[in-house]
Structure 1
Amino acid sequence: MSARTRYLAAALDLMAADGFNGTSMRDIARAAETSLSNLYNHFASKSDVLVALLRDANDDLLRRIRAELDTAGPSATERMAAAVRAYVTFSGECQTAAVLSLSEFRYLRGEGREAVVQARDTTESIFRGVIADGVGTGEFRTPYPDGATRAIVSICAAVPTWYRPDGPLSLSELADVHVRYVLAMLEAATVTAQQPASTAMPA
């Protein structure tokens, strides 16, 4: 494990437990078993640490979505289903980083904030492009593609705030449920998601 990876892992645990304001650079250095000067050699400020955490999380999400799209079928419906499953799976498997991305983003300012916004816009643009393709081919009949894009990204991003690994649905089943939500929202001509055995949602 590289020093950078070790420092960010320590920061992720601390900020998830105590928040951005409740975590200091000294706390991170202590948890990572390094000196404060070594930490500052990698990150100029606590904000830079948070930017790195959020950028890394979004980069991981993008890799997962793109990998699923590479193996998905050619239709917009199949590609949308693949993208949604990738997003929901990321939200469950990387729950701590995903929650941090939602809760602590508000503390970023300036160039750091803009960098994270641009990364998130890239993710959203993938969904926007698939929806545009589906509307163009007639697979999706929604008259509100822009609103649908924002809503789809929002419901996928919200999963880690309530998901429980011991809940009534497995992560795979939960992804299937969200595919059904999304395709219904898009007024898809054909719903390709398989109905899970149980559709009970956690309270």
Structure 2
Amino acid sequence: MSAPAREPLGRFDVVAVATSAGGVQALSALLGALPADFPVPVLIVQHLDPRHDTTLADILDRRSALRVKLADAGEHAEPGTAYIAPPDRHLLIGADGVLSLSDRPRTQFVRPAADLLFESVADAYGARAVVCVLTGSGRDGAAGVVAAKTRGGTVIVEDPETAAFAGMPHAAVRSEHVDHVLALADIPTALHDLLVATRP
């Protein structure tokens, strides 16, 4: 049974993050700078080898004050927790805040795909969503950025000039649907200003 939808607590209710090559270091830096009482859930797509289990959640959990875990189908996304898409499963969220996992075909040659996560966040939360594209090769995330921005969301992209791998950030910037292009070290501050400083 789905959890009841919650009344919005602030201007934003969810953050979705996408990364690929170079992502472990980028996620360590980003999550490591967020406080344990971060007011919204963080949903993460990191492109992973589908043939193997991953210890990424355990690694990041040790490096962050947030709780970090692999997402489970049917669980309700909670503030102060980061949920990572499992290998070879798309991560989606509904308007009730309940997570789902999908075996739908690959998008941009990958599963999990940032595009599908961002699109589901845009559909569920509209202007109350923040999406972030970090280091990575390829174009995954660019279409999702357009979906998020078109529905009123806020888009942050790691500066391609300083990203370890510029493909995903470049593709997102070229979409022309980006609000902020920032060095990785500046993204936690931007999230704080958007999500913490604006809450009642």
TM-score band by shorter chain is under 0.3
Scaled by the length of structure 1, the TM-score of the pair is 0.23
Looking at secondary structure, tell me which structure has more strand per residue: 2
